[in-house]
Amino acid sequence: MQKRELGNTGMQITPVGFGSWAIGGDNWQFGWGAQDDGDAIAAIERAVELGINWIDTAAVYGLGHSEELVGKAVAGLKVKPYIFTKCSMVWNDRRQMGNSLKADSIRRECEASLKRLNVDAIDLYQIHWPNPEADLEEGWQEMARLKEEGLVRHIGVSNFSVDQLRRIIPIAPVATLQPPYSMLRPAIEQKLLPFCMEQNIGVLVYSPMLSGMLSGSMTRERAANFSADDWRRNNREFQEPRLSANLELVELLKRIGAPHGCSAGEVAIAWTLRHPAVTGAIVGGRNAAQVEGVVGAVEFRLSAEEIGDIERFLVMMPK
């Protein structure tokens, strides 16, 4: 499987990585509904077996549960993937969530993640959200200290703007940025991606299929019957009038993918990987079959004509 260099880290990563947001399960604010732990571990094992060499997780996914599952899955693997995780989203004993970029909080979170993941050092440690913004500098200074001490190998950020990146770069180089990016969320092409190319910041995009909307398996019936604890239930992309337009886009992606033996989801992922600033795309999988349904995006490349067909359709979609 081909690999790309991730920014200035020296890590060679596959264009697709395993995303573990959804396997965190239910019973937290941004859950995806009930998840079988055995299926989650099997999904990770299958991803690595197919050649995917990095896993993206976060402490807050399932309020620690996702990291625990990643730790269990990786412990049984002969070939160890890189593990990327995140900090700054915290919770209390009542499972109420908040944000902190205080130095002592980030250190506690790092130590807790190391324990849950059962590793000596985290390959890439990222600030999950730039909140509270007033504490960006304090948080990034502590991230740099963790790297100096060897608790983490590389440090990056997620969901930061260009202005926020400019604030922290003088403190310590930013290895990576993790923004949302899909054909339905292309805004980062304007300023953020060019800035990352200029600064040699590796870009790991999340939600390339917009949380399953572009996977090819979404239907009106499925969207209407999301469980009460599935956060997508209240997302406008899964509601009319956006839902119908999005499903029409999916039909186009299916037509484009069919001659290549690719799913709509693989076409959607390949669209994000076409941009020269994007190093890798984070793709979730709740079971082994879902992983098998998207891994083709690693090798698939859209032609200029196919990209043009997609762009013309996107221009006509309701805003």
Catalytic residues: 61
Whether the CB-CB separation of 14 and 298 falls below 8 Å is answered with yes
Tokens for 264?
């709509």
Whether the CB-CB separation of 179 and 190 falls below 8 Å is answered with no
Could you tell me which of 168, 150, 189 has the C-alpha nearest to residue 272? 189
Tokens for 36?
């079988």
Could you tell me which of 78, 69, 72 has the C-alpha nearest to residue 20? 69
Q: 63: which DSSP letter? A: T
Whether the CB-CB separation of 267 and 253 falls below 8 Å is answered with yes
Phi-psi group of 23: left, alpha or beta (phi > 0 → left; psi -120 to 50 → alpha; rest → beta) = alpha
Rounded to an integer, what distance in angstroms lies between the CA atom of residue 33 and that of residue 118?
Answer: 26
Whether the CB-CB separation of 52 and 84 falls below 8 Å is answered with no
> CA 200: distance to chain centroid?
19
Residues 6+ positions from 22 with CB-CB distance below 8 Å = 32, 35, 284, 285, 286
Burial of 181 (0-12, 13-18, 19+ CB in 10 A): buried
Amino acid at 215: S
3-state secondary structure 214-230: CCCCCCHHHHHCCCCCE
Q: State the CB neighbour count (10 A cutoff) for residue 227.
A: 12
Rounded to an integer, what distance in angstroms lies between the CA atom of residue 85 and that of residue 67?
Answer: 8
Whether the CB-CB separation of 317 and 242 falls below 8 Å is answered with no
Rounded to an integer, what distance in angstroms lies between the CA atom of residue 41 and that of residue 20?
Answer: 10
